[in-house]
C-alpha cells in the first residue's frame, strides 16, 4: 500500500477524513467498561478529548454522565453528530460536541475526569505534547483525574500488516479494513496506512478510502518526564483495560494522573 520513496515519516497527519462512518465498525470496545468504572468514581463533567465518533462519550452519557466531546476531524464529528440526532433527549442533553484541537483548546469549564482514548499519540512533537498537557491541566480541578492510555513504543514492530474481517452494512454491502504499520523507534514515530474498501454483494468495489495516520511512539522514561514537567503526579499505573497492574508484559500503559501539588 505504501509506495512512496523517501521519508515515509514526513508530513504525518492524524488521517481520519472520510472514515467517520466506518470507524466504529472496527473499534475494540473493551475500553468502554473501564472508562465507565472511572467515571463512576469521579462523576461529571467529563472531557473526552479526541473523541472521534463519540464512541466512548455516548457510552458515558448513556450511564448518566455529562460529557464534552472534542475532536478536530469533520468526518469523525459528523458521525458523532448523527448519534446526537438519533439519541434520546436525556442522552443528547448530556453530550456537547466541540470541533477543536486538543493541542490548544479553551472550554469555560473544569472537568472531574479528562480522557484521551486511543489518541494522545496523534500529538506528534514534544512541544505539542507539552502544550496539550498544559491545556488538559488547565481544565482540571484540584481533585480531578486524567486518564492517559498509551500504546507501548517498545512493543511496536518496524513493519506489520493487518486485515480485519469484513463487516456487513446496509443493502448487503460490506466494508473491509486493511492496514500497514511502520514504526521508527529511533525517531519515536509510527505511521499507519489504512484502507477501507466498501463492496457490493457481488464483490465489486464501490469505494476505496485510504488514510495515512501519524503517531508518536512513547517510551516510559520520555512520557514520565513529560508528565512531570507538565505538572502531573501518578496515582496508578494500569497495564490494560482489564484493570491489571502495569508490568513489563502489559500491552498498554494506562496512567491515572492528578495535578501535582508542587506546580
Ligand atoms: C484513534 S481515533 C480515536 C477516537 C476515539 N477517542 C475512540 O477511541 O473511539 C483518534 C482521534 O483523534 C483525533 N485527533 C487527532 N489529532 C487531534 C487533535 N490535534 N485534536 C483533536 N482531535 C484529534 C482524530 O480526529 C480521531 O478522531
Ligand 1 centroid distance, CA of 133 (Å): 15
- pLDDT tens digits for 142-165? 999 999 999 999 899 999 999 999
- φ, ψ for residue 238, nearest 5 deg: -120, 150
Give yes or no for residue 3 having a pLDDT over 50: no
pLDDT at 263: 62
User: Which residue's CA is the nearest one to ligand 1's atom 23?
Assistant: 50
Ligand 1 centroid distance, CA of 105 (Å): 14
- pLDDT tens digits for 89-147? 999 999 999 999 999 999 999 999 999 999 999 999 999 999 999 999 999 999 999 99
How many other C-beta atoms can be found within 10 angstroms of the C-beta atom of residue 51? 28
Shortest CA distance to 54 belongs to which of 91, 108, 18? Answer: 91
* Reported pTM: 0.96
- Ligand 1, atom nearest to 31 Cα: 8
Per-residue pLDDT band for 2 (boundaries 50, 70, 90) equals very low
Mean of the per-residue pLDDT values of the chain? 95
Does the C-beta of 117 come closer than 6 Å to ligand 1?
yes
Does the C-beta of 62 come closer than 6 Å to ligand 1?
no
Q: Of 31, 52, 136, which is best to mutate to test ligand 1, by the most ligand atoms within 8 angstroms of its C-beta?
A: 52
Ligand 1 centroid distance, CA of 239 (Å): 21
Does the C-beta of 20 come closer than 6 Å to ligand 1?
no
Ligand 1 centroid distance, CA of 61 (Å): 19
**Contact of 206 with 171, CB cutoff 8 Å:** no
Grid coordinates representing 55 are 464512541
Shortest CA distance to 182 belongs to which of 166, 159, 152, 202? Answer: 159
Ligand 1 centroid distance, CA of 263 (Å): 28
Report the share of the chain in percent with pLDDT over 70.
97
Does the C-beta of 51 come closer than 6 Å to ligand 1?
yes
Give yes or no for residue 188 having a pLDDT over 50: yes
- pLDDT tens digits for 208-244? 999 999 999 999 999 999 999 999 999 999 999 999 9
Count the residues in the chain: 263
Place of cell 496508578: 236
**Rounded mean pLDDT of 73-92?**
98
Amino acid at each position: 500500500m505504501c509506495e512512496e520513496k523517501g521519508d515515509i515519516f514526513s508530513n504525518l497527519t492524524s488521517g481520519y477524513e472520510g472514515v467517520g462512518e466506518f470507524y466504529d465498525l472496527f473499534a475494540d470496545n473493551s475500553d468502554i467498561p473501564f472508562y465507565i468504572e472511572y467515571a463512576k468514581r469521579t462523576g461529571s463533567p467529563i472531557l473526552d478529548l479526541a473523541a472521534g465518533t463519540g464512541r466512548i462519550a455516548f457510552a458515558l452519557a448513556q450511564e448518566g454522565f455529562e460529557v464534552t466531546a472534542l475532536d478536530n476531524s469533520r468526518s469523525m464529528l459528523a458521525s458523532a453528530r448523527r448519534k446526537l440526532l438519533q439519541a434520546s433527549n436525556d442522552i443528547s442533553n448530556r453530550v456537547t460536541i466541540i470541533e477543536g484541537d486538543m493541542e490548544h483548546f479553551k472550554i469555560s469549564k473544569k472537568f472531574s475526569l479528562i480522557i484521551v482514548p486511543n489518541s494522545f499519540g496523534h500529538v506528534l512533537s514534544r512541544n505539542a505534547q507539552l502544550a496539550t498537557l498544559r491545556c488538559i491541566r488547565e481544565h482540571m480541578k484540584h481533585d480531578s483525574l486524567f486518564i492517559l492510555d498509551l500504546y507501548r513504543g517498545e512493543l511496536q514492530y518496524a513493519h506489520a500488516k493487518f486485515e480485519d474481517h469484513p463487516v456487513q452494512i446496509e443493502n448487503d454491502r460490506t466494508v473491509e479494513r486493511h492496514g500497514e504499520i511502520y514504526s521508527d523507534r529511533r525517531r519515536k514515530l509510527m505511521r499507519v496506512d489504512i484502507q477501507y474498501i466498501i463492496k457490493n454483494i457481488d464483490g465489486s468495489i464501490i469505494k476505496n478510502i485510504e488514510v495515512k495516520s501519524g503517531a508518536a511512539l512513547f517510551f516510559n522514561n520520555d512520557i514520565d518526564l513529560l508528565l512531570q514537567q507538565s505538572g502531573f503526579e501518578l496515582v496508578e499505573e494500569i497495564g490494560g483495560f482489564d484493570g491489571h497492574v502495569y508490568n513489563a508484559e502489559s500491552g498498554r500503559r494506562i496512567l491515572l494522573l492528578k495535578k501535582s501539588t508542587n506546580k
